[in-house]
Every structure is written in structure tokens, then in C-alpha cells.
Structure 1
């Protein structure tokens, strides 16, 4: 066990795919990562699941820093993890127009830069890119097209701030496990198997391993 990593406080910010909507085990991928850190690496970390259902980057920008400040203390190392984008790309419900996004690409890009730029000054920061919705109807295909564009914007933004970015869009669009899990869910949220899949992908990510101090020996 690496005792220097005991006490990590890990804040996971995002939307319902962070929160774990439709997850039969509850808690989504943050809960799974915390459990594995304890069971497999002996790390007594504190995981904060700070996902809010239906939240866009507008809402996240307004709240994340205050919520992080309540949970970050000098005695313990902190990690900030962000994952958002699906709600930005979703159809604007108030206008009833499929061609209108809830948050425009330009505004989403600005929000992302403000969030990640400020976060990486506070603590080690990780960015989990948006996951594809179900590859099915015309409506969901349109959302996936928008997500593909946002994913590229986010990837370039992450590079600009030298923040590790886990690019999941293309993988989850074609991944049979993820797509089947979405079909068993509601097309936007997977069942528990989908959250298992996300947690596994994040767990094996070098960015995650580095941020929490995992090595081959501790894994």
C-alpha cells in the first residue's frame, strides 16, 4: 500500500452519467472506482459523486468551484474529475426544435475552457470525454453527431491546458457492451453493465492511475 495516497478526496463532477441514473447498483462509475481503490489497492479515499441529472455545462460552470471548495482540505490530496457534454448536445426542449442544441458548440467550448482552466490551477484534474448515446433513431444519431463535434473541441481544450483527457466517444459509439447497455437502459443512460464498462475504462486509463498514484505494484 502506498500510504501517501491515503485520504485522497476525489470530486466527480458532471451530469446523470456521472450520477448513475439507471444504475441498479447506484452510484455510477465514481462509486465503482472508490470501491476498487479500497478493495484492490487498499486506498481509503473519499469519493464525492457530484453529478446532477440534466445539467449542462452552464450549470456545471456555475456550481463546481463552490462545491469543490467545501470538500478540499490541505491535509488530504484532492483530484477533480469532470465529465459532461451530452446535455449540451441534447435537443432544446423549450424550443421544440431538433436542430437546436441546449448549449451551442461555441458556448460549450467557452464553458469547458473556463471550468478546466480554473480546475487545473486548484488540484490535479482529469477529464472524461462524453459517451455516445444509443446508435438508433434519427434523433439520437443527431445527438451523436453533435457529441462528435463537442468531443473534438474538448480534446483540443484539454491539450491546451495539459489536462489528461479520456476520449470515449468513438469507442462507446461502436462498443457492443455499451450499446447493449444503453438499449437495456433508456438510450441515454445504460444499465449497471454500462457503468461497469465505464468504470473499467477509467480504471485502466493512465491519467487516472497517475492522478491517484496507482502503480503496477499497487494494482
Structure 2
């Protein structure tokens, strides 16, 4: 049986003179929870691309609150196969953004992680391998939380140390597969703790309006996104 090899971004641009169809799969960061004005960075980008002066690319928001890597993997191919449009029977690219919901400690600060770290690494690797067989893939990393607001929902203890471990595992998995990875965690932490806190909602987990505005700018400025589109 022949192995399906997804085209590169350069081949994609040459082959497609029509607007691209891009799906974004992930958790509440994709869904846009917390942005009551613009609906999140994906929705903001979708609206931007609807402008008469834009290339007219089509963006599907497939974010589900609470999803971890296992749930996104379960949805991957079904979502991909059912998001074709017009001359495109399937989408041209996938943007993934998941992992933060796998990282929290359960019940107490030193409890077990929601998804065991070694299990997470295996599941991320599998997700990326499967996605790459479908089309070009990009990955947008997680935002840092406000640790002072934990626990979330009185039971989930998110923290920067675990976030860093899980995002690094994801970044390295992407690097090994030459999948562009936007390291939002390091980018935001580099802007200072007060900057981060001012861009999160009261729950300490989700970006607020200003946070999603910042995320949109980070994505737009990302070289990998500009090369794709």
C-alpha cells in the first residue's frame, strides 16, 4: 500500500490559486472562551480573512473546551474529512493547539497529572504523525496560567512547571517532524508576569479580550503562518 505524503507549504502555495481551507483543532484556546468581544484569536483571524482586501482563506474553528490530546486525536480525521468546500474535498492545512488540559494536577498541588507525562508524549507523537499524513500542519502552543488563581474549578491545579514540561515535549515532537511550533508560553513569559496576568480572565486559565488580541498578533507575525497563507 502506498504511503500518503502531505505536500509541503511551498507546494501548497504553488498548487492552490484559490483560497485555502484551514481547520484549527484544539481546546478552549481555539474555541475562544473568555473573549466576549471578538470570539478568540481564531474567530478574529477568520473575520480578518473575510475582508475584501484579504486573500479570502476559510478558517474552521474546531475548538472544544476541556479537550486534551486524546480527544483531539479522536476527532482529527473525522473533522478533516468533513471540512472540504467547493473544489477542495478536504482542507489544505491543519493548525493544532492542545496540551494545557493534559497538564494540571488533580485534587491537590502535588497530585497526579491529568494525563500522565509519558502517555502524553506518546499521544502527541501519534497525533502529529497522523495529522502530517493528511496535509501540512502547524502548532500553536499554550498560554501560561495565573498560578495565584488556582485551583481551577476547585480541583485542577495548573502550574508553570508542568506547563513547561508538556509544552517542551510538544515543541520537541514538532521539531523532530519539522512542524512549525509557535511557543506562546515562552513568548508570553518573556513579557513579564504582570503582562501575562493582565491578559488572563479571573479564572487564571483563559485569555481575556486583550489576551486574544495579543494572541492574534502573535499568530499573524508568525513566519510559518505567513508562509502558509
Normalising TM by the smaller chain, what interval? 0.7 to 0.9
Give per-residue Cα distances to partners, 1:121-149, cap 9 Å, x unaligned. 21111001111111435758852111101
Number of residue equivalences = 207
Matched ranges for 1:66-105 at <5 A: 66-72=78-84, 75-76=87-88, 78-92=92-106, 96-98=107-109, 99-105=111-117
Give per-residue Cα distances to partners, 1:11-66, cap 9 Å, x unaligned. 01110111011111253111111222333852222211111101111111111211
Q: Which residue of 2 aligns with 1:216?
A: none
TM normalised by structure 1 equals 0.85
SS at match of 1:103: coil
Of stretches 5-14 and 152-161 in structure 1, the one that deviates more from structure 2 is 5-14
Give per-residue Cα distances to partners, 1:163-195, cap 9 Å, x unaligned. 00111112223434442021x442101211111
Contact 2:137–2:180 (8 Å) recurs in 1: yes
Matched ranges for 1:1-219 at <5 A: 4=16, 6-39=18-51, 41-72=53-84, 75-76=87-88, 78-92=92-106, 96-98=107-109, 99-136=111-148, 143-175=159-191, 176-182=194-200, 184-212=201-229
Of stretches 28-37 and 148-157 in structure 1, the one that deviates more from structure 2 is 28-37
Contact 2:49–2:58 (8 Å) recurs in 1: no
Structure 2: gaps spanning 5 or more residues: 1-13
**Which has more helix, going by share of residues?**
1
Over aligned residues, Cα RMSD in angstroms? 2.4
Contact 2:150–2:204 (8 Å) recurs in 1: no
Q: Distance in 2 between matches of 1:116 and 1:71?
A: 19
Contact 1:166–1:205 (8 Å) recurs in 2: yes
Give, in angstroms, the shift of residue 118 of structure 1.
Answer: 1.1
Q: Distance in 2 between matches of 1:178 and 1:196?
A: 13
Name segments (4+ residues, structure 1) moved above 6 Å.
none
In structure 2, the CA distance between the partners of 1:75 and 1:174, relative to structure 1 (3 Å rule), is: same
Structure 1: gaps spanning 5 or more residues: 213-219
Contact 2:40–2:212 (8 Å) recurs in 1: yes
In structure 2, the CA distance between the partners of 1:122 and 1:18, relative to structure 1 (3 Å rule), is: same
Contact 1:5–1:43 (8 Å) recurs in 2: no
TM normalised by structure 2 equals 0.81
